[in-house]
């Protein structure tokens, strides 16, 4: 891998058209009017830039800085439109980015082999399963990795303007803590020693909002070790856990696995794709330091994904999660398969190229086209129900009107909002009882108190918000709620959950609807505020990261404008 890999494609349109077709085919149902509300994927019409969005609330900053960015964007763009752009753009950029990572041939084009690489990366179990579990920020990082790798190689080669482009490529990944680590590691193993300090420094600045927010969090960044077993990778079919992970699957939540993953053919198709990747990487010209670093990083991703299922390794993970701040990022190990998916896609494309050369040499162009079609179908057959919203499960719905009524009632009011029934997830009838994260923290203009404890397969995984537990224990005592700074109680109807305390019904009702009921808690004290030091530090890192992004974009624009062709002055023109 060297600077040749980053050259422009003489015929870029086949990859662009393929990426667009795949993106529309995968996200089709989600493009209907409404919002896709599925597990952790929750968008609202307008999200406020509050203390929780900045990482100053009670829960660990897992959605920092993405909630702040969404808050800024939905102030000018409707949340419904933003979600659709994100979903389509993520799949499009994943396919196109992987397709552009192959080195161009003698004619300057990357050919059908690039399309195979794009499909292996973009039409994958990883995309399907993380879509069904709603981890859209992780998928944004996944889509950014090929572009991060491309700009890292350009920076390694000393290409002018590569640094600001690398920062712009890393920025989408840095919307979440996991994405920052994914992108930072790719940069680290491919950029080279000479460029590493400035490149990694840029990644750290973009990651500073969640790093500082986590370091200053009252919980100290410690998570429940029970999450290691709860979030351990799972087998899919007869191939076992390891083969599921090597194929890009193995997510811990059985409800987020497409039905096709149980097919007896899936392990065989996985082995064929892996064999194609081995063929591609086996070429001697591939033995470079960036290539070796990328392959080693992919192996690390597989080991982390499987660690929760291996005795000894799981014990070590449990100790780290319970003792080392920030180690909770390792609990859901299967997400690190993104590091493995990148070299597999590149290798599959390279292997396809070698096979296509041989086929054309023996049977001419028709033989090459036939083989290219077969190779392109391998990733599609491995997860055919990724099509049309993962088998129609990415359906858009409308929020009931009660949500806007409650938001309007809370505008310009004081006091935090306790949301009942106390629980992290909902299953509303108006959303066909799909499991979804409670939308109240994003919908409401006031800070909310919700449960951050998770129950996975019957196993409780404790949250980190001490105040949430204190407030939940006082839910049946309005006077204690008022003392704790809770000025409102929102009761969400039509969803399973714990019984509502009888005392709540006696509170004054402000909004009474079929789906929501909002109570006022009289005499509420001021809600607790984060310390000035914490506010200054966390706010400063948000401003710094935003400033770096703005400077990088302006740098790229300025560099582009200086090379724009100019018309020669009139006295130099040759008369016709």
pLDDT of residue 221 exceeding 80: no
| pLDDT value at residue 4 | 79
pLDDT of residue 391 exceeding 70: yes
CA distances from 230 to 245, 249, 332, 496, 538 (A): 17, 16, 9, 22, 31
| pLDDT value at residue 563 | 55
- CA-to-CA distance for 65 and 171, rounded, in angstroms? 10
User: Cβ atoms within 10 A of the Cβ of 72, count?
Assistant: 15
Which pLDDT tens digit goes with each residue over 7-21?
A: 888 899 999 999 999
Cβ proximity of 399 and 435 under 8 Å: no
Which pLDDT tens digit goes with each residue over 72-85?
A: 999 999 999 999 99
Kindly report which listed range (23-37, 103-117, 179-193) carries the lowest average pLDDT score.
103-117
Q: Which residue has the tokens 């991060």?
A: 148
Segment 342-365 shows an average pLDDT of: 93
| pLDDT value at residue 562 | 65
pLDDT of residue 360 exceeding 70: yes
Going by C-beta distance under 8 Å and a sequence separation of 6 or more, which residues neighbour residue 440?
417, 419, 448, 450, 490, 492
Letter string b/e over residues 265-304, b meaning 16 or more CB atoms within 10 A of that residue's CB = ebbebbebbbebbebbbeeeebeeebbebbbebbeebbeb
Which pLDDT tens digit goes with each residue over 481-530?
A: 999 999 999 999 999 998 999 999 999 999 999 999 999 999 999 988 89
pLDDT of residue 576 exceeding 50: no
User: Cβ atoms within 10 A of the Cβ of 89, count?
Assistant: 15
- CA-to-CA distance for 127 and 93, rounded, in angstroms? 12
Predicted model pTM: 0.95
Average pLDDT over the chain reads: 93
| pLDDT value at residue 484 | 96
Domain ranges of the chain: 3-219+237-392, 399-520
Which pLDDT tens digit goes with each residue over 273-284?
A: 999 999 999 986
pLDDT of residue 332 exceeding 80: yes
pLDDT of residue 384 exceeding 80: yes
Segment 335-364 shows an average pLDDT of: 95
pLDDT of residue 459 exceeding 90: no
pLDDT of residue 570 exceeding 70: no
Nearest to 58 by CA among 567, 485, 464: 464
Give CA 301 to chain center in angstroms. Answer: 16
Q: In the structure, what pLDDT confidence band is assigned to residue 181 with cuts at 50, 70 and 90?
A: very high
pLDDT of residue 458 exceeding 80: no
Cβ proximity of 141 and 170 under 8 Å: no
Which pLDDT tens digit goes with each residue over 41-94?
A: 999 999 999 888 999 988 888 899 999 999 999 999 999 999 999 999 999 999
Segment 545-567 shows an average pLDDT of: 83
Q: Which residue has the tokens 């203390």?
A: 51
The percent of residues above 90 in pLDDT, for the chain, comes to: 84
| pLDDT value at residue 211 | 95
| pLDDT value at residue 187 | 98
DSSP code for 419: E
pLDDT of residue 569 exceeding 50: no
Segment 555-564 shows an average pLDDT of: 79
pLDDT of residue 423 exceeding 80: yes
- CA-to-CA distance for 165 and 5, rounded, in angstroms? 16
User: Cβ atoms within 10 A of the Cβ of 419, count?
Assistant: 23
């Amino acid at each position: 891998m060297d600077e040749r890999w980053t050259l422009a494609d003489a015929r870029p349109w086949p990859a662009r058209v393929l990426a667009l077709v795949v993106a529309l085919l995968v996200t089709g149902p989600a493009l209907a009017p409404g919002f896709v509300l599925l597990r952790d994927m929750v968008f609202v019409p307008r999200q406020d830039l509050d203390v929780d969005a900045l990482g100053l609330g009670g829960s660990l900053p897992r959605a920092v800085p993405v909630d702040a960015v969404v808050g800024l964007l939905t102030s000018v763009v409707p949340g419904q439109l933003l979600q659709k752009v994100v979903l389509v753009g993520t799949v499009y950029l994943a396919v196109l980015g992987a397709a552009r990572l192959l080195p161009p041939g003698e004619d300057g084009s990357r050919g059908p082999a690039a399309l195979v690489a794009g499909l292996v990366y973009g039409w994958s179990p990883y995309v399907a399963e993380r879509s069904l579990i709603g981890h859209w920020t992780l998928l944004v990082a996944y889509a950014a990795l090929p572009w991060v790798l491309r700009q890292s190689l350009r920076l390694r080669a000393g290409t002018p303007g590569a640094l600001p482009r690398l920062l712009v490529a890393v920025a989408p990944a840095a919307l979440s803590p996991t994405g920052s680590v994914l992108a930072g590691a790719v940069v680290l193993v491919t950029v080279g020693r000479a460029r590493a300090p400035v490149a990694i420094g840029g990644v750290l600045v973009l990651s500073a909002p969640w790093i500082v927010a986590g370091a200053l969090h009252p919980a100290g960044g410690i998570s429940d070790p029970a999450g290691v077993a709860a979030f351990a990778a799972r087998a899919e079919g007869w191939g076992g856990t390891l083969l599921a992970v090597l194929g890009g699957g193995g997510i811990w939540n059985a409800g987020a696995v497409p039905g096709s993953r149980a097919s007896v053919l899936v392990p065989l198709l996985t082995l064929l794709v892996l064999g194609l990747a081995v063929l591609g990487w086996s070429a001697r010209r591939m033995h470079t330091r960036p290539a070796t670093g990328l392959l080693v990083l992919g192996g690390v991703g597989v080991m982390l994904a499987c660690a929760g299922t291996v005795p000894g390794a799981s014990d070590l993970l449990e100790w780290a999660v319970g003792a080392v701040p920030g180690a909770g990022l390792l609990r859901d190990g299967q997400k690190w398969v993104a590091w493995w998916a990148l070299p597999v896609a590149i290798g599959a494309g390279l292997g396809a190229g070698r096979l296509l050369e041989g086929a054309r040499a023996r049977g001419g162009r028709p033989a090459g086209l036939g083989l290219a079609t077969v190779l392109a179908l391998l990733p599609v057959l491995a997860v055919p129900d990724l099509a049309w919203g993962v088998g129609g499960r990415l359906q858009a719905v409308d929020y009931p009107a009660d949500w806007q009524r409650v938001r309007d009632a809370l505008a310009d009011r004081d006091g935090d909002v306790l949301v009942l029934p106390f629980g992290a997830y909902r299953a509303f009838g108006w959303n066909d009882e799909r499991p979804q994260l409670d939308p109240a923290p994003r919908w409401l203009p006031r800070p909310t108190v919700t449960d951050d404890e998770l129950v996975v397969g019957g196993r409780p995984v404790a949250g980190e918000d001490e105040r949430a537990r204190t407030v939940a224990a006082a839910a049946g005592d309005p006077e204690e709620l008022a003392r704790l700074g809770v000025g409102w109680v929102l009761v969400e109807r039509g969803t399973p959950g714990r019984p509502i305390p009888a005392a709540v019904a006696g509170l004054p009702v402000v909004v009474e609807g079929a789906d929501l009921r909002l109570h006022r808690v009289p005499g509420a004290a001021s809600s607790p505020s984060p310390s000035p030091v914490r506010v200054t530090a966390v706010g400063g890192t948000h401003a710094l990261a935003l400033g770096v992004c703005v400077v990088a974009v302006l740098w790229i624009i300025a560099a582009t404008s200086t090379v724009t062709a100019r018309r020669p002055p009139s006295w130099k023109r040759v008369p016709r």
